Homo-oligomer: A and B are copies of this chain.
Amino acid sequence: MPRPSRAHHRRGELIAAARQAVLDRGVLDVRLRDVADLASMSTGSVLYYFPSLGDLLFEVQREAVERFCVDREEAARQESDPRGKLVRTIRAGLPSGKDDELCVLLYELGAYARRDPAYAAQHIRLCERQVALYTAILETGAATGVFDLGRDATTIARGLVALEDGLGLHLTQAVPTFTVPQAEAVLLAYATDATRCELEA
């Protein structure tokens, strides 16, 4: 019987190290050496577990996408009232700034999604799950009568997701274009107008 392999666990450690390396140095500057150092091993060892740095980064993205979706679905579940759910989901989707690791990671790795279909597929999955989340909230609220949707819920949901993405892009820049409260105001304004329901607290 073969000696048991610890590769799975090791790969997990490397994904975590790579994640940190991207946050530290940015996707443009991250080196195999950075990952190796963070994981306290040689560069050769890193490549024993992943064929290339690119493959490792892909796994980083996959994990980040998954965690982001789960976190938000979790945040939404905390509330039962559609209005509260909507506000909470909006707040959970906007990055808190450059320190918001998960969001920064997704934007950093987004550079690959522009050229690599596999990366793009993850982004699509991410986006669609969020659209589904918002759509469900909107439709529940519409059924209850809290929300008065002037159009189909999917269009509104897509808008919310894209708006978060756009605002997040600005919030995570070296020098942000807006403050977080300004971004929140924009998003709440959108949601208020689209649902014809007073949301702003």
A121 CB within 8 Å of chain B: yes
A193-B150 in contact given A108-B111, A114-B104, A163-B163 (Cβ < 8 Å): yes
Interface bits A142-174 vs B (CB < 8 Å: 1, else 0): 000000001100011011011111110110111
A68 CB within 8 Å of chain B: no
Which residues of chain B have C-beta atoms less than 8 A from A108's C-beta? 111, 114
A32 CB within 8 Å of chain B: no
A70 CB within 8 Å of chain B: no
Interface bits A105-144 vs B (CB < 8 Å: 1, else 0): 0011011111111011101100110000000000000000
A7 CB within 8 Å of chain B: no
- Do the beta carbons of A166 and B173 come within 8 Å of each other? no
A159-B189 in contact given A27-B28, A165-B170, A166-B164 (Cβ < 8 Å): yes
Chain A contact residues: helix, strand, loop or mixed: helix
A194 CB within 8 Å of chain B: yes
- Do the beta carbons of A155 and B193 come within 8 Å of each other? no
Which residues of chain B have C-beta atoms less than 8 A from A193's C-beta? 150, 190, 193-194
A177 CB within 8 Å of chain B: yes
Please name 27 pairs of A and B residues whose Cβ atoms are closer than 8 Å in the assembled complex, sorted by A.
A26-B111, A26-B114, A26-B115, A27-B111, A28-B111, A104-B114, A108-B114, A114-B173, A115-B174, A119-B174, A121-B175, A124-B173, A124-B175, A124-B177, A127-B170, A127-B177, A158-B182, A159-B189, A159-B190, A161-B166, A162-B167, A163-B166, A165-B169, A165-B170, A166-B166, A166-B169, A193-B193
